[in-house]
Amino acid sequence: MEILRLALDNLLSPPVLGFALGLVAVLVGGDLRLPDAVYQGLSMYLLLAIGIKGGVALRASSVGDVILPTIAAIGLGVLIPVLAYLILRRATPLSGLDRGAIAAHYGSTSLVTFTAALVFLEASSIAVEGFVTTLLAVMEIPGIVVGLLLAGRAADRSLSWGASLHEILVGKSILLLVGGLVLGVLTGASGYERVEPFFGALFVGILTLFLVELGTLAGRRLPDLKTAGIGLPIFAILFPILAGTMGVTAGSLAGLSVGGATILGVLSASASYIAAPAAVRLALPEANPGYYLTASLGITFPFNLVIGIPLYLEIAQVVGG
């Protein structure tokens, strides 16, 4: 019953309610979208805040603690998109190109899902290894690359890798996240103290505002569901549970605590909706965003936010305990 109480607390947390507000606004015909510049600014704030905080914690970790979980994260980043691609072939009538595009999204990770999980675990007083942000950073890219490779193979054409890979690597999310990590490692706890009122104390409030925006974006994606068929929404709910269980198990085997294994589960279960869509749009313009964005942002994101995160914690407690 503990898990139910945690799930209910999660449901009533400000970020999740903010998401619901954005969603309801769209359903009643309103519009709560942030101005573009504000949205971009908030997303930069979140990435940098997560990066710096992760960097400060990384400094306190020893290399030995980090190495096995990092290998597990990279392995999952490669395995998950392949699995997604194969399962989609059975579950949906989508072309290889669209399946590869979706696989790239599920192979990559979602910063906001990760962040919501950290906030949830903190509220539940469950400790998490400080270096988990490093896992977020290393899992962001491999999934996208594997997904694009699968799609390119299916479409029987070579992708213009030079341009695309460069665009992915110097994308805002990677630069800010990795840059923030480096900044955090260099400045350490004493330096962080000086920016904590901005990057720490305000964090959950700004996350809530950001989630209002994501709620409206997710709501606007829902009409696309009608054209996608029934296989895709089922995939978008069941696949995260499978990938999340794999992530939790791999995390436990790699020596992570219950909190850390939950986070690796969340990273495995989450689907990207910022870095991957941009990369896929540039490298695979033929793939239909109506499928990949609807699945990742319209279904998997809210599912993980409300049900997935407490569920992966429960699985981590069973596996780890």
Partner 1 sequence: MSTTPPTHGHVALLTIVAESILEPRLERELRACGASGWTVTAARGEGSRNRRVGDLDGGNVRIESLVSNDTAAAVMQRLADDYFTHYAIVAWVADVAVHRSERYI
Region 272-311 residues binding partner 1, contact defined as CB under 8 A:
273-274, 277-278, 280-282, 285-286, 288-290, 293, 297
Find the helix or strand (DSSP H, E) in which 28 lies.
none
Nearest-approach distance from CB 260 to partner 1, in angstroms? 29
- Asked whether position 40 contacts partner 1 by CB under 8 A, the answer is yes
Find the helix or strand (DSSP H, E) in which 310 lies.
helix 309-320
Q: Would you say 207 and 116 are in contact if contact means Cβ atoms under 8 Å apart? A: yes
Which among 119-127, 133-141, 235-243, 269-277 is the span making contact with partner 1, rule CB under 8 A?
269-277
Total number of residues that touch partner 1 (CB under 8 A):
20
Question: What gap in Å lies between CA 260 and CA 251, rounded to an integer?
Answer: 7
Q: Draw the binding track, 93-112, toward partner 1 (x: CB under 8 A; -: no contact).
A: --------------------
Strands (E), 41-189: none
Nearest-approach distance from CB 278 to partner 1, in angstroms? 6
Which among 134-142, 185-193, 244-252, 271-279 is the span making contact with partner 1, rule CB under 8 A?
271-279
Nearest-approach distance from CB 285 to partner 1, in angstroms? 3
Closer to partner 1 at the Cβ: 79 or 283?
283
Closer to partner 1 at the Cβ: 249 or 288?
288
Written as six digits, the tokens of 312 are 């992966």
Q: Would you say 206 and 178 are in contact if contact means Cβ atoms under 8 Å apart? A: no
Region 151-210 residues binding partner 1, contact defined as CB under 8 A:
163, 167
Closer to partner 1 at the Cβ: 40 or 67?
40
CA angle 207, 213, 215 (to 5 degrees): 100
Closer to partner 1 at the Cβ: 120 or 291?
291
Q: Would you say 192 and 184 are in contact if contact means Cβ atoms under 8 Å apart? A: yes
Closer to partner 1 at the Cβ: 36 or 64?
36
Nearest-approach distance from CB 290 to partner 1, in angstroms? 6
- Binding residue (CB under 8 A) for partner 1 from 29, 36, 125, 226: 36
With CA atoms as reference, report the closest residue to 112 among 183, 33, 217: 217
Nearest-approach distance from CB 140 to partner 1, in angstroms? 16
Question: What gap in Å lies between CA 41 and CA 198, rounded to an integer?
Answer: 14
Nearest-approach distance from CB 40 to partner 1, in angstroms? 7
Question: What gap in Å lies between CA 6 and CA 310, rounded to an integer?
Answer: 7
CA angle 172, 114, 213 (to 5 degrees): 65
Region 214-243 residues binding partner 1, contact defined as CB under 8 A:
217, 220
Helix count and strand count (H, E) for the chain: 17, 0
Written as six digits, the tokens of 129 are 């290894």
Burial class (CB in 10 A: 0-12, 13-18, 19+), 190: exposed
Region for residue 256 given its phi and psi (left: phi exceeds 0; alpha: psi -120 to 50; beta: otherwise): beta
Nearest-approach distance from CB 103 to partner 1, in angstroms? 17
Nearest-approach distance from CB 169 to partner 1, in angstroms? 14
Nearest-approach distance from CB 200 to partner 1, in angstroms? 26
- Asked whether position 17 contacts partner 1 by CB under 8 A, the answer is no
- Point out which residues bind partner 1 (CB under 8 A): 36, 40, 163, 167, 217, 220, 273-274, 277-278, 280-282, 285-286, 288-290, 293, 297
